[in-house]
Amino acid sequence: MSIARFWRETPVRYNLGGCRCPTCLTVYFPPRSVCPVCVQHRSSIGRLEPFQLSGEGEVVSYTVVHDAAEGFEMQVPYALAIVKTREGPQLTAPVVDIDPSEVRIGLKVRATFRKLREEGKAGVIHYGYKFAPMDDVHRPPERPTQSETAPSTAPTAVASESRA
């Protein structure tokens, strides 16, 4: 099996796989081996269960980055948010498919996986999660079909301005 295929087929890649404590039902992302809530009673050691997060959440805080870190200069400006997922964990990630000035606290978002970077021409491609708005108002416009972009052969009326 190739290295690239191995990474693609790893269960926690390309999804929001966390874990849940069977004792207190707290959900964690990324997964961990011990629940810090139940650690006193040692009831969670080795008992945390895999748990798939829905990817849906809400922006609880954000900032607009204008001075990016090395390697991200072409992406500025972009919104970087703390998103509280429906299941409880809070994740930090960019908000995409929306103008950064339109991001607001309370914006409903959904996780999406996007290419983050590529290591050289023949290198490994790194993907990660970002969040995109869930409502139709902030979705990017769909590309027009060929028939919608073809010039019309029908004559068009030209408005004339009358001067009095």
Residue 33 has pLDDT above 70, yes or no: yes
CA distances from 31 to 14, 58, 139 (A): 14, 21, 31
The larger pLDDT score, comparing residue 34 to residue 95, is at 95
Question: 59-110, pLDDT tens digit by residue?
Answer: 999 999 999 888 778 889 999 999 999 999 999 999 999 999 999 999 999 9
Structure tokens, 122: 């023949």
Specify the CATH number of the domain 55-139: 2.40.50
**Domain locations along the chain:** 55-139
Residues 6 and 74: their CA atoms lie apart, in Å, by 30
Q: Which string of DSSP letters, residue by residue, matches 20-55?
A: E-TTT--EESS--SS-TTTGGGT-STTTPEEEE---
**Cα angle 75, 110, 90; round to 5:** 85
Question: 129-155, pLDDT tens digit by residue?
Answer: 999 999 755 554 454 444 444 444 444
